[in-house]
Amino acid sequence: AFSNAFAAVGAGLGALSLCGSVVNPRFGSNMRYVAIVTDAELAPNEVLKSVELGCAGCSGSCFSACKTAAFQPEVHEIVLGGVPQRFRKFDVNRCNWAKRQLPHIEKIRPCNFEQCVLACPHARKQ
């Protein structure tokens, strides 16, 4: 959920949530991003304003859903295209460990979505 997050925000595809996932205005946090390197001339998009206001009314469900306490308490800020983006860093090893602790179910492919992203109110956008 966090791969290419800064590139996606810089490309104007969404804004960074406090848990570090990209939130798209239409699809919420239900998208994943890949980066393509090209020398083609492309028209730039504007960086979207932060979705932190959408996070302000939240009780921190993304942080409490993390069973391994991977999120650090301090909030960091970066500026992309003149727009500040605030987020909390997380311990990648703790996050990856939690994703691999799924029960084994025969003939069903388990979902390894990050529990923080699933708990986010932005994930419920259609």
86-108 pLDDT per residue, tens: 889 988 888 887 767 655 555 55
Report the pLDDT value the prediction gives residue 39, as an integer from 0 to 100.
96
Band (76; pLDDT cuts 50, 70, 90): very high
Q: Where are the alpha helices (DSSP H) in the chain?
A: 5-10, 52-56, 61-65, 92-99, 115-119
Ramachandran angles phi, psi of 69, nearest 5°: 50, 50
pTM above 0.75, yes or no: yes
Q: What is the pLDDT of residues 7-35, one digit of tens each?
A: 999 888 888 888 888 888 888 888 889 88
At 61, the amino acid letter reads S
The terminus-to-terminus CA distance of the chain in angstroms comes to 18
Euclidean distance between CA atoms 75 and 86, whole angstroms: 7
Instruction: Tell me the backbone φ, ψ of residue 15, rounded to 5 degrees.
Output: -125, 160
> Which residue do the tokens 């708990």 mark?
119
In this structure, are residues 29 and 8 in contact, taking their beta carbons and an 8 Å threshold? no
